Amino acid sequence: MLGTLLERNSNGLYCAAGDFYVDPWEPAERAVITHAHADHLRPGSRQYLTARAGLALVQTRAGPEARVEGAEYGTPVDLNGVRVSFHPAGHILGSSQVRIEHRGEVWAVSGDYKLASDPTCAPFEPVRCHTFVTESTFGLPIFRWLDPGISLDEINAWWRGNQETGKASVLFAYPLGKAQRVLAGIDSSIGPIYTHGAVETFNRIYRDAGVALPSTAYARSAPARTDWSRALIIAPPLSKTNPWLRRFGDFSTAMASGWMRIRGTRRRRSIDRGIVLSDHADWPALLSTIKDSGAERVWVTHGYRTALEQWLSENGLEAHAVETQFEGERDEAVEDVGATEAES
Ligand SMILES: [Zn+2]
Ligand SMILES: [Zn+2]
């Protein structure tokens, strides 16, 4: 049954029956939040509802004054007679697909998701629905990820290689999610690990949630005569000339991102090493997830919408590309740079 439980209006995805938005673009009366990345969570809404596992992150991002409630994964909450529940999306800590049910009609809004293994969050769980709203950040057939273990080994080898040549290893990673996934997966016996403040803020929340991360030190608090040549430093994407980097002396840079799959991205950003590691579904994962949802209708948001919409239409599904406000979001690694470059 293909109803109109959700609609796209000027503030994003709205459920009129339940009077709430999912990841609204502007402040709303009630915001149901898939996860704490800034393109999904805007501050200023009157009430937030998110998965319990992501509550601390949403509270941090929405501000201490915000009214944030959490629901356990799989436990429905009644919003004006509409059943809303959260199901793991495997993207970052506390990330969810939102299942919305009313009078027999079921929608699922994926938020961002991935199927690949990630010890820092609950694994993706398929949700059956009539209409599936899927992300498509990497919705092109060229995007196929290798096993994440291969990318993590690449980081280890790059770090060891830098140690041999007396260089510090500066790894740029998105500070919420990617940084913690890297930390949880690398070989921490190689050397000391330091972090930028933006990364450390989220490390603390992950550790409080019981996620095992190796010990890290805040780079800014390191003594003046610290030998950085054996160290791995995890920072949000910064330009090579950023003053925060000066203290490390001679260093090599790497960036962990799905965008490193595109030839030229690394060079354009003048980064020494590109590590392909994404927290989004690749092309085969998008297709299998859509199939497993059992949905007859698919709304495609984020990223390469048209390619995926076309593929789905050609394969017998009713598909619509749905515009998102944040087209700048194409770079999964860039979101926080503005806020963090101030720290020097
Ligand atoms: Zn995200
Ligand atoms: Zn997103």
Strand ranges across the sheet with 96-102: 77-79, 82-88, 96-102, 105-109, 131-135, 297-301, 318-321
Q: How confident is the model at residue 185 (pLDDT cuts 50, 70, 90)?
A: very high
**Ligand 1: distance of its center to the CA of 316 in Å?**
29
Give the bridge partners for 195, in sequence order. Answer: 218, 234
Distance in Å, CA 195 to ligand 2 centroid: 24
Which of 284, 283, 265, 285 lies closest to 274 in space, CA to CA? 265
Q: How confident is the model at residue 343 (pLDDT cuts 50, 70, 90)?
A: very low
Measured distance CA(237)–CA(173) in Å, rounded: 6
* Ligand 2 centroid from CA 164, angstroms: 38
Q: Tell me the pairing of strands 82-88 and 105-109.
A: unpaired
pLDDT tens-digit map of 65-120: 999 999 999 999 999 999 999 999 999 999 999 999 999 999 999 999 999 999 99
Going by C-alpha positions, the residue among 51, 28, 38, 33 that lies closest to residue 325 is: 38
- Distant-in-sequence, close-in-space partners of 241: CB < 8 Å, separation ≥ 6: none
Q: What is the pLDDT of residue 326?
A: 62
Q: What pLDDT is attached to residue 304?
A: 87
Phi-psi region of 282 (alpha: psi -120 to 50; beta: other; left: phi over 0): beta
Q: Are 178 and 257 in contact (CB under 8 A)?
A: yes
pLDDT of residue 265: 81
Question: What is the CA(174)–ligand 1 centre distance, in A?
Answer: 10
- pLDDT (average), residues 32-43: 96
pLDDT band of residue 269 (cuts 50, 70, 90) is confident
Q: How confident is the model at residue 128, as a pLDDT?
A: 98
- If one compares 184 and 240, the residue with the highest pLDDT of the two is 184
Nearest C-alpha neighbor of 120 from the set 61, 62, 57: 57
Task: List Cβ neighbours of 288 (8 Å cut-off, separation of 6 or more).
Answer: 115
Q: Of the bound ligands, which one is closest to the alpha carbon of residue 174?
A: 1
Distance CA 82, CA 101 (A): 6
Q: Give dist(CA 288, CA 293) in Å, integer.
A: 9
The label of the residue with tokens 């356990």 reads: 72
Residues with CB under 5 A from ligand 2 (ion): 39, 112
pLDDT tens, residue by residue, 212-251: 999 999 999 999 899 999 999 999 999 888 999 999 999 9
Q: Kindly tell me if the per-residue pLDDT of 342 is higher than 70.
A: no
Q: How far is 243 from 51, CA to CA, in rounded Å?
A: 38
How many A from CA of 141 to the centre of ligand 1?
21
Cβ–Cβ under 8 Å, residues 94 and 73: no
* Number of Cβ atoms within 10 Å of the Cβ of 25: 17
Contact between 21 and 77 under an 8 Å Cβ cutoff? The reply is no
Quote the ligand 1 centre to 112 CA distance (angstroms).
5
Average of per-residue pLDDT values in the chain = 92
- What is the predicted pLDDT for the residue at 166? 97
> Phi first, then psi: what are they for 285, rounded to 5°?
-70, -35
Residue of 303, 266, 281 whose CA lies nearest to 154? 266
Ligand 1 mean position, distance from CA 166 (Å): 35
190 CB-near residues (< 8 Å, 6+ apart) = 156, 159, 160, 163, 232
- Is 152 a residue whose pLDDT tops 60? yes
Please name which ligand lies nearest the alpha carbon of 331.
2
pLDDT band at 294 (very low <50, low <70, confident <90, very high): very high
In this structure, the strands spanning 217-218 and 105-109 are: unpaired
pLDDT at 324: 77
Burial letters 44-70, b for 16+ CB under 10 A, else e: ebeebbbbebbbbbbbbbbeeebebeb
The pLDDT-based confidence of 1 (bands split at 50, 70, 90) is low
The Cα-based distances of 11 to 7, 23, 34, 109 in angstroms read: 10, 9, 16, 16
- Percent of the residues in the chain that have a pLDDT greater than 70, as a whole number: 94
User: Which has the higher per-residue pLDDT, 326 or 167?
Assistant: 167
Instruction: Inform me whether the pLDDT recorded for 337 exceeds 90.
Output: no
CA 171 to chain centre: 17
Ligand nearest, relative to CA of residue 92: 1
